[in-house]
Amino acid sequence: MARKTGDLLTSLRLSGDRGNQHFRFREPGILRYLPSATMTSTTSAPRWMRNVLLAAGAYNVLWGAFAVLFPSAMFRWLDMPLPNYPQLWQCIGMIVGVYGIGYAIAAFDPARHWPIVLVGFLGKVFGPLGMVQALWTGALPWGFALNCVTNDVIWWVPFALILKYAWVRNTAL
């Protein structure tokens, strides 16, 4: 079987004779879990893409953790009624945090992990559309829109450029 770069099987190696089927990781200790140790690309993306995706990852993990740990905080800051079901807000925080992990993984090879960036980009486009509707109908106060700017709007251009890069790289192969 041909060996593929970045394939999970290439991160494992058969030790001893083939009959005992004993597998050992090439990388020692924690290094085997780091994306850079197992996800290698033949050409690297521009450094700014890695930095943007790592920043988006860190931001989303921190924001998500804050929403999970303090589900009423934003509502109190905006002098809004507290939600009847804070668990729903915590669930949103969990989803945002999980996206952050995905962005951090994608940072190491954006052309390969473009679906993660695409799903995030779509959420960052559709979320503000819902926010506009909620603002228009008065369901949410205008102060709540700041949340949408920092969580979504500021990431539109860099994510779109990363997706364009991935398109060019993947269609040129």
pLDDT of 14-53, one tens digit each? 334 444 444 344 445 544 444 444 444 446 899 999 999 9
Q: At 13, is the secondary structure helix, strand, or coil?
A: strand
The predicted pLDDT at position 44 comes to 85
Residues with Cβ within 8 Å of residue 10, at least 6 apart in sequence: 3, 4
* Residue 16: predicted pLDDT: 41
Residue 32 contacts residue 38 (beta carbons within 8 Å): yes
Phi, psi angle pair for 56, to nearest 5°: -60, -40
Tokens of 113: 């992990």
Q: Which residues contact 38 (CB under 8 A, 6 or more apart)?
A: 6, 8, 11, 27, 32
The DSSP letter of residue 139 is: S
**Predicted pLDDT at 172:** 78
Beta-carbon-side half-sphere exposure of residue 108 (alpha carbons within 13 Å): 13
Residue 11 confidence (pLDDT):
41
- Cβ atoms of 50 and 156 within 8 Å: the answer is no
**What whole-number distance in Å separates Cα of residue 40 and Cα of residue 36?**
6
Q: How far apart are CA 128 and CA 120, in angstroms?
A: 13
Q: Which parts of the chain have pLDDT scores under 50?
A: 1, 3, 7-27, 30-42
User: Contact 142/100 with Cβ under 8 angstroms?
Assistant: no
